[in-house]
Every structure is written in structure tokens, then in C-alpha cells.
Amino acid sequence: MSTLDIRLAVLYSRLRVEEKWIFAALDKCGTQYDRLLDGEVQFDVDQPGAWNKYNAVLVRSLSTSRGLYAAQQLNAWGIPTVNSYPVSSVCADKAATSAALTRARVPAPRTRICFSAEAALQAGEELGYPFVLKPVLGSWGRLVNRINDRDAAEAVFEHRETLGTHQHQIYYLQELVRKPGRDIRAFVIGTETPVAIYRTSSHWITNTARGGSASVCAVTPEVHDLCQLTAAAVGGGVLAIDLLEDPERGLLVNEINHTMEFHSTVPLTGVDLPGMIVDFTLRAGRSGEAVPSPAHSTAANSGT
């Protein structure tokens, strides 16, 4: 099946720079595609209807829940999505991510999951202060707290018990890794790890969404191998993997993102992530698989 015979859809929430670049890449390759705002679509669960005309759907929803439910329904009809529902559902839930990393023996920060404030207080004491408290669902570093002592833990846990939803009463605690003022975000496209960046900040949260600055990070064989092991642990696809540099244990996997942003990475590195994402989605459309194997793996994995 040629590129011209494939019809794709991009399901998105807002026209950010990433979506503009993706649409430009689609226009360049000449494939047929539709732009679908997730707030305007509907799914008749009994029959796919007009969705059947798509060979694959690239899910770019800002809302995690919208993207997950869309991918779940599309996959149920046999329509491939990037990423697939099984992959997205694991990456969207930090507890599920931890379980997948544990099964695959991927190195990660020490983590505790608790279901009450009392148990979380004990777990925090065992991890040692300061530790990090995260929501099991969430992104951009929102509602991530550094807990410096027991008084802070009791105050934050009380607020969660009183004001939070049921998800906020799942206590996901991690050790505070003594990273060197930065973390690494590496991008995975199938079996390739084409590019990575450092995210540096004077604040302990280094996300670029929270003011961190980006610089080029070489994709060493160690980074590539760890990223591929991590991607395989959750099912593979188009992912952004956040790595922490521990002074004693080396690289640790912190989080995996299934609908990544790359507005800082592309201008900085010149790596055509939008084009690579489109190519991966086209391969999904040709193969009929939600997570297709790339046609090749570049030798550039040792550096950028």
C-alpha cells in the first residue's frame, strides 16, 4: 500500500506548534488525512461508521482521558492508533508504569504506593526526607510536591484526604534523586532513539513547562539501550522517556510520556520528530498494527 493510498486522521485538542508541524509533515508526504478536534467527534460504539475510512489515527489530545477513551474505542474496532490504548493506558498511570518497569527490571527511583495517609506517612519515613509525592495521573509537573519533613507530609496528606478526588488518595511516593540540576528527555520512535535533550533548572522540578531550559544531550549507547528496554516494557511506540542521573546508580527511568511535546527539541536539535511521527503512523496504517516495527533503525542512535 503506497502513501497515497493511506488515509489518516489526527485527533487533537488545540492547534499547538507540534500539531502545525505534524500537519506540515503530512502535507509534505502527500497522504490523505483529516484534522479532527476531539471536542467535536463522537463514537457510535456499535459500529465504526465513518471511522472505517482511516487506516490509522494519530492521537494528540491534550486531555489524557479523551485520548485514552478514543484510542480504546478505535482499537476495539481494529483501527490502529499511535499510540495504542494498551501503551497509552500504562504510560498515563504512574503506578501502572512502575509495575511495567518492575516486570522488565528497568532501573527506576525507589517508589512506594499507599492507600491511606497513615500508610503514606510510614512509607515516607522509610524512604527518608525529602521525598517526592506525585499524582498517579498528571503531567507538566503539576501537583508534584517535595516533602521535606513530617510536618509537611501531614499537611499535604490532610489536604489530599479532604479536598482531593479518589485518585489523589492513591499515594505515589518516590525518593528524591540527587540529580545534577537537570534531567534527560529522550525520544523513542519504534526501535530508534533519534534525539535527547537535557532539561536544566535551578528549581528541583526541571520540566521545560515549568521554566527549565533545554540543551542537546548525546544519545549514547547507554541512553539508547535503556530507552529501548523501557519502551519495550510498556509496549513500544512513539514515546518520550524522562531519565534521571543518579550519582551512584547511573541512569534511572522517571516517567514515560505517550503524547509528547517537542516544541523545544526540534528547533534546538534540527531532528525532524514530526516527520518521524508521521512515518511511524503511516507504517501503522500499512501494517494494520497499533505498534508496527519500523522499516529500519538508523545508526545515529549513538549520538545526535
Regions in the chain scoring below 50 on pLDDT: 293-304
* Tens of pLDDT, residues 45-88: 999 999 999 999 999 999 999 999 999 999 999 999 999 999 99
Q: Which of 92, 55, 89 is nearest to 290 (CA)?
A: 55
What is the model's pLDDT at position 1? 66
CB distance 206 to 86 below 8 Å:
no
**pTM, entire model:** 0.90
Quote the radius of gyration of the chain (alpha carbons, Å). Answer: 20
The full DSSP string for the chain is --GGG-EEEEEESS--HHHHHHHHHHHHHT-EEEEEETTT----TT--GGGGG-SEEEEE-SSHHHHHHHHHHHHHTT--EES-HHHHHHHH-HHHHHHHHHHTT-----EEEESSHHHHHHHHHHH-SSEEEE-SS--TTTT-EEE-SHHHHHHHHHHHHHHS-GGGGSEEEEE----SSEEEEEEEETTEEEEEEEEE-SSS---GGGTPEEEEE---HHHHHHHHHHHHHHT-SEEEEEEEEETTTEEEEEEEESS---TTHHHHH---HHHHHHHHHHHHHHHT-SSPPPS---GGGG--
What is the model's pLDDT at position 216? 97
What is the model's pLDDT at position 205? 73
What is the model's pLDDT at position 210? 57
As a whole number of angstroms, the distance between CA 280 and CA 174 comes to 34
Q: Name the β-bridge partners of 35.
A: 10
Which domains does the chain carry?
3-83 (3.40.50.20), 97-107+177-258 (3.30.470.20), 110-175 (3.30.1490.20)
Q: Which of 81, 174, 83, 97 is nearest to 137 (CA)?
A: 97
What is the model's pLDDT at position 209? 59
What is the model's pLDDT at position 302? 37
For residue 144, which phi and psi values (nearest 5 degrees)? Answer: -95, 125
* Tens of pLDDT, residues 194-237: 999 999 987 767 666 556 789 999 999 999 999 999 999 999 99
